[in-house]
Amino acid sequence: MQITFGLYLDGMPRRTETAFAGRLGMGPKRLLSLLENRLDLAGALFSRPVRIAACLRGIQAMGNPDPWWVRSYSADPWATAEYLLDARDRLIQAGWDGITPLDGSPRLRALSNLPVTDLAGEAERLRKVQDALLEGRQCGIQCLRLQTPYSLLPYPWRRIVDALAAGNTRILDHAFPISQPAGLPRGYPPEHPEVGKDAVVRVLGRNEWQCAEYVAAWLAASTKHNETVSILCLEDSLILDQALQRRGLPGLGQARVSSLSAHLQILPLLLANLWAPLDTEAFYPLLLMDCSPIPDFVRSTLVQALENEPGVGGPAWKKAWERIERQAMDLGWKAGINGDREQIRHEIRILHHQLMLDRHAPEPGAPVEAVAMRCRWILDWIASCELDPSIRTDLTDQAHALLAITEGQNRIPRTRLERMLHSINESLAGAPIAPVETTTGQVLNHPGQLLESCETLICWGFTAPRHPQEVDRWTDAELKAMRSHGLQPTLPTDTFHLESHAWRQALSRCRNHLLLVQPERTAGVDTGNHPFLDELQSLTPVRDCHCDELLQPHSPWVMGRRVIVAPAPDQPLSAPRAIHQLPDGATRRPTHFSYSTLRDFLACPMKWCLQHQVGLVSPALLARQSDASVQGRLCHRVIESLCSHPHVSRFTPRQAADRAMLLFDYWASILAPELILPGQEIRLERARQAATKSAFHLFDHLRKTGQRIESVECTLSGLAGDIGFSGRADLILADGLGRRRVLDLKWSGSDRYLREEIDRGETLQLAMYAWLLGTDPESPNVGSGYFMLNQCEYLDAGFNDPATPASAGVNPQVIWERAWVTLQERMAAWQEGRLEASGIRAWATQHTPEMTNEGDEPHPDQQPEEDTGLHLSPPCHFCEFDALCGLNRRDEA
């Protein structure tokens, strides 16, 4: 058997047949596995998380912990065990037998006293292979060709090579000599003057997308010569593969599974739901995942509940679980062959317990049985549904690994559990997402894998490594102590020399051209120059080009190819239309309005149509809300609950504030669970003080004005002609004269906007509620106003008394009559099929009057003086349909 051995040959994505004719190419992992099988040493292979767990159990069993690591262990046991295990493995790789006491530093003494586990790692496996070879046992390898120089091999591999040589294995050092200067690409000969001698070219791009477009276009410019092109993927090739496939070229297949891949987050998100209090930022993504063990009908219902109340335990949450049980009954979910409804209720109770009730404090942690129950939940779900085979394998391995490393423990703190999951996900990362497609050139993921000469080498992702390679760092005293015991540790300089040699070897095997592709930003993060660039620039000129120049109709030649980019014809954008004509019969006369729909209809009929008639909604997303939004939502609900108390009329301002503080603690867990998470104490106290202060000043205002609370969250309805109106008023007040007043609670950083709204006479909400309340013949005169919860002040919006002067902002009746005039105009236009985008009309009026369409209604500034309608500003700043009406491209038109 003939084997080519190199430190970087493990996991080669593809290699040409001529490179390995009659021999096997192997890296350290594959060669070690082969030797173990040939020497009858093969045994169970233990993953890194399993070995860390075994080391942790050994540390826990120690009677006297070592003072060098005891403080780290008390803070993070898992990370401490991980570090100690890695350091011990490095000592064994340096030649330590694992028994001889080491001195020279507290770290060496601590590592030599570390409990020995039966779970052998790579270092112990190498030592066993070496011992077996030195005993004279044969492995059947006739020839071993070294692609990495013998002097640069790590110490344990040099010992194995020596043992193989002693056992009649022929060793051939075919690596590039360390002392020889790197060969350089020659470029094109003089008979090709039109392309120049661009032997080494660095292509810069704004991001990886632009670079991928150019590389794919360059390869597509001369496909018949691609068989002489080798591609070195230093970064994930997913984006490059997409660009290649768009041009009919084969993909490279170097997209790898990340430890942050969506399917590897299912179990971590389930386990993040173990802790009290509820963290909606972890629970919400679990409900939004397409691939989830939680049934679809359960997830959609809980998402709706969380959008109304971002916590659990409130009215919306209880109604959601009642609806889930009804849906489960209708669907026959887990009812069995007999349709047992009691079985369905039992399964719903289990699901409710797992998602809602089974919560534990982060310290001392969750019982191991709670963790195991969720692992089994994942395994049962995998067995009952159809999944991609690779995803099924990853999820199964993830759950089994966590079950294995938590076995025998009592409670698992949150930090340790998250460390365990991180280690497991890291061990599962790196598998290819897609297979390598057929291609004639070599595809590599490290320069040390280039085993034969090539005409052109493309280095994709030639940037500074985002995750630098870890190196061993020992003090001088530690190195002296280790060398006194015959140990030969790997030094940082050894690692750097090894990496530099791999690049110089690849450079020497590139005959004509080297194309370095360097995006200036990757995944939105600025990149730096690759470490080898400085050495390369000292050897040969490097021509820099930018994709902005190369992806143009008259782009320059690069390495014998020229990318031809056809200019796209100019397509002038049509001006956004203020009026859209709908087909005949497409509209129906509205018969009912709430306040929100009425405001949208008056302010912008197009927004009203898209949102309330067509039913367009934005996708469900839970964004972190500002402190002001959280405080306002909480304060509003606390005041409503306070005013609903049966003895609210007896409350003094101080009693109201005390009661509000108690209500705040209840509603905080329901409406703002993020405030009760650790580290949010200041935000929680700020919101609590705001709620109690608002309650005090509201009841102080009621006391001073002699008003009492008559109704809370009062539903109002009325009929005007054939159109129904309805709304829900926050508070209905009554004074000693029997007059009633609509009071709307508002939270805002400033009261300026509402004051201006009152001055302009645009308080549509108060006017509509006052009109609805005034339909009662016993109390036709109704007042209205705002109470500003943040500023703790009252803003009066007047009474709808006909005797009140009809000046702006003081008579709700006048405002309602103006709104009725505009409503009739909007209704007439709607029935004629004329849909107005009011934001476009307002913008065109101010900037480009010529943009209005022929036959449009006159602009607001051109309307006759006798117009008495209520013209509200279009809500463009809060609208999600600007791409549909054209407001987002108004400056391009």
Q: How confident is the model at residue 880 (pLDDT cuts 50, 70, 90)?
A: confident
User: Which of 123-137, 332-346, 481-495, 719-733 bottoms out in mean pLDDT, i.e. has the lowest?
Assistant: 332-346
Residue 235's contacts (CB-CB under 8 Å, 6 or more residues apart) are 208, 460, 461, 463, 522
Q: How confident is the model at residue 463 (pLDDT cuts 50, 70, 90)?
A: very high
For strands 411-412 and 366-367, give the pairing.
antiparallel
For the ranges 278-287, 573-582, 852-861, which has the lowest average pLDDT? 852-861
pLDDT in tens, 250-285: 888 887 767 678 888 999 999 998 998 888 778 888
Residue 15 has pLDDT above 60, yes or no: no
The string of DSSP letters for 656-700 reads: HHHHHHHHHHHHHHHH-GGGGSTT-HHHHHHHHHHHHHHHHHHHH
7 has pLDDT over 50: yes
Q: What is the pLDDT of residue 433?
A: 61
Give the residue with greater pLDDT, 285 vs 469: 285
Which of residues 584 and 692 earns the better pLDDT score? 692
Residue 891: its pLDDT value, please?
Answer: 53
Q: How far apart are CA 141 and CA 128, in angstroms?
A: 18
Q: What is the pLDDT of residues 177-224, one digit of tens each?
A: 655 555 667 665 444 444 446 789 999 999 999 999 999 999 999 888
Distance CA 338, CA 325 (A): 18
Average pLDDT over residues 84-96: 91
Do 785 and 741 contact (CB within 8 A), yes or no? yes
Cα separation, 446 vs 501, whole angstroms: 12
Which is more confidently placed, 549 or 441? 549
Q: 186-211 as b/e, with b when 16 or more CB fall inside 10 Å?
A: ebbeeeeeeeebbbbbbbbbebbebb
In one letter, which amino acid is 765?
Q
CA 739 to each of CA 733, 734, 736: distance values in angstroms, whole numbers, following the listed order: 8, 6, 7
pLDDT in tens, 770-822: 999 887 666 667 889 999 999 999 999 887 655 544 444 468 888 999 999 99
Which band of pLDDT confidence, cut at 50, 70 and 90, is reported for residue 2? Answer: confident
Q: Can you give the pLDDT at residue 440?
A: 58
Q: What is the pLDDT of residue 187?
A: 62
Residue matched to tokens 């108004």: 890
pLDDT at 18 over 70: no
pLDDT, tens digit (0-9, with 9 covering 90-100), for 748-758: 989 899 999 99
How many CB atoms are closer than 10 A to CB 653?
17
CA 319 to chain centre: 30
Q: What is the DSSP letter of 104?
A: S
Asked whether the beta carbons of 239 and 209 are under 8 A apart, the reply is yes
566: left (phi over 0), alpha (psi -120 to 50) or beta: beta
* Res. 735: pLDDT tops 60: yes
CA 307, 311, 315, 317: dihedral to nearest 10 degrees? 70
Strand ranges in 775-845 using DSSP code E only, listed in sequence order: 782-788, 793-799, 834-836
Both tokens assigned to 548? 């902005």
Give residue 465's pLDDT.
87
Residue 341, CA distances (Å) to 295, 326, 331, 332, 861 in order: 17, 11, 11, 8, 66
SS3 content of the chain, % helix, strand, coil (to 5): 45, 15, 40
* 22, 39 contact by CB (below 8 A): no
- Supply the pLDDT for residue 176: 62
Whole-number Å distance between alpha carbons of 80 and 388: 36
* Residue 356: DSSP 8-state: I
pLDDT at residue 23 tops 70: no
Give the residue-averaged pLDDT of 317-334. Answer: 86
Q: How confident is the model at residue 84 (pLDDT cuts 50, 70, 90)?
A: very high
Higher pLDDT, 597 or 333: 597
pLDDT reported for residue 810: 62
Query: Average of pLDDT values for 870-874?
Result: 88
Q: How would residue 375 be classed by pLDDT, with cut points 50, 70 and 90?
A: very high
Taking the alpha carbons of 7, 9, 11, 13 in that order, is the dihedral positive or negative? Answer: positive
Range list of H helices, 67-207: 70-75, 77-93, 106-112, 122-134, 155-166
Output the average pLDDT for the chain. Answer: 85
Cβ burial 823-861 (10 Å sphere, 16+ → b, else e): beebbebbeeebbbbbbbbbbbbeeeeebbeeeebeeee
| pLDDT value of residue 732 | 93
Q: pLDDT higher for 438 or 658?
A: 658
Beta strand pairing status for 454-460 and 229-233?
A: parallel
Element (H, E) at 503: helix 492-508
Asked which of 181-190, 217-226, 404-413, 533-542 is least confident by mean pLDDT, the reply is: 181-190
Structure tokens at 251: 């993909």
**Per-residue pLDDT, 862:** 47
The secondary structure element, H or E, covering residue 457 is: strand 454-460
> How far is it, in rounded angstroms, from Cα 157 to Cα 162?
8
> What is the pTM for the complete model shown?
0.77
At 581-634, the pLDDT tens digits run 999 888 888 999 999 999 999 999 999 999 998 888 776 554 556 678 888 889
What is the predicted pLDDT for the residue at 182? 57
DSSP 825: H
Q: Which of 147, 226, 202, 216 is nearest to 456 (CA)?
A: 226
